[in-house]
A and B are shown apart, each in its own frame.
Chain A
């Protein structure tokens, strides 16, 4: 092999080495992103006997209805949120009834509430009802300069003995798909 051939071969190796290095950096960067964005922390709503894992770094509020509300502070002006509710349910009643009740409440509380679809999804091995809807969120704060936001939401009803646990995802339509992953992980982590 001549010197020039050796140099050309080394140049080609150098080209590939740059590409491999950049690919490695981006894979590490992606891993870092996943680790940061999808870090979780345990939560426990002792009075309702519900525990699980929720996204770390989200703002956590507890109350009566919802029992737990988590807001993503990095998404604005409408913070994407996860909520948890518990409603009593007679043993022979379809858990879908809980979603109908929630729909009725929401339709009277928010603007332009509209159900998109009602479906069945598998959570663990169990098929449970899921409802997707939209409404318009209007910020009534006179000092906030925000236009109304179209919000998309999903409720999933998880039957328990004598009650139904309703997990909810709410996000602006632009952020909704990106938050489905948080919702799935949140629902699958629930223990009651």
Chain B
């Protein structure tokens, strides 16, 4: 008869094994799987509010000081702004999660993997192969369908892959909430590379509009990959059907595409006598609402699953 091993640490657990979703756990990892980790959620909330505060601060400072940056100075300022969202999240995360922090090297590794996949695969696929900027704007339906099928699925699959094929099978992925943590890290890595690419490709950015775009990208990418991470976290520890993971990636891709389309509609204004063309603020409001709602729903779902598990029932 084969030995019963903990599905996380692969150590023998014997007849005392705890069972969840058809998988055996040692005492320690069973307790860990069901941890709520409120610090993660506080970090998520702090990150959203911090981003909005950071944008307001930069917009106010630029408005007051009216810096006259050009050339490389403008590019350098843009690059600093592009790195801030990820730094903010890391600061909040490790500040709030001091009791049992995730290993920095793993979180950073997934972050870098997300960024590398964006640069090596995501951006070339969207810009060079699918060439989305030349056909998405042709009609609203093309924009919506293309945003979901092409932008949504490419971005969400790459962020999913950054977690699924790196940290996911390891013993460090030992809590349901870890899916959200590593998913967020992958999303922020992806967003950081998108923002760096945006700054460099534009040869520097208008600091006020640029910081809003950078924050919107970071909030959106982190939210959608956090959602995929939730599905990964549940799939790792529970008895989920085959469609569960594809369903998670598809849901994140659909939300990503809807967000991309809606953001485009909200930020593009009609030309009129008083000017117009582009207003980035609605995009920031939308991104903050989407991020807040996503993390709120995930917090509720994971807490519910943990409670059901602790009450002796598999979360349905």
A75 within 8 A of B: yes
- A21 adjacent to B149 (CB under 8 Å): no
* Contact yes or no, B138 A14, CB < 8 A: no
Q: Interface size for chain B: under 10, 10 to 19, 20 to 34, or 35 or more residues?
A: 35 or more
CA distance A17 to B164 in the complex (A): 14
Determine how close the nearest CB of chain A comes to the CB of B310; give it in whole angstroms.
22
B22 touches A21 (CB 8 A): no
Contacting pair B245 A4 (CB below 8 A): no
Chain B residue contacts of A10, Cβ below 8 A: 241-242
Contact B130–A4 (Cβ < 8 Å) = no
Least Cβ–Cβ distance between B138 and chain A, in angstroms = 5
| Chief secondary structure at chain A's binding surface | helix
Q: Is the CB of A30 within 8 A of B130?
A: yes
Among A2, A30, A36, the most chain B Cβ lie within 10 Å of the Cβ of: A36
Least distance between A140 CB and chain B CB atoms (Å): 25
Contacts of B152 in A (CB 8 A): 25
Shortest Cβ distance from residue B178 to the other chain A in the assembled complex, whole angstroms: 16
Quick check: is B58 within 8 A (CB to CB) of the other chain?
A: no
- Encoded as 1 (CB less than 8 Å from any B CB) or 0, chain A from 8 to 19 comes to 001101110110
Q: A41 CB to closest chain B CB, in angstroms?
A: 13
Do A14 and B244 touch across chains, with their CB atoms under 8 A apart?
yes
Is the C-beta of B154 less than 8 angstroms from some C-beta in chain A? yes
- Contact of A116 with B by CB under 8 A: no
Interface CB pairs A-B, < 8 A, 27:
A2-B2, A4-B7, A7-B23, A10-B242, A14-B235, A14-B240, A14-B244, A14-B245, A15-B245, A17-B246, A18-B157, A18-B164, A18-B246, A18-B249, A21-B153, A25-B149, A25-B152, A26-B153, A26-B154, A29-B130, A29-B145, A32-B145, A32-B149, A33-B131, A33-B150, A37-B134, A178-B131
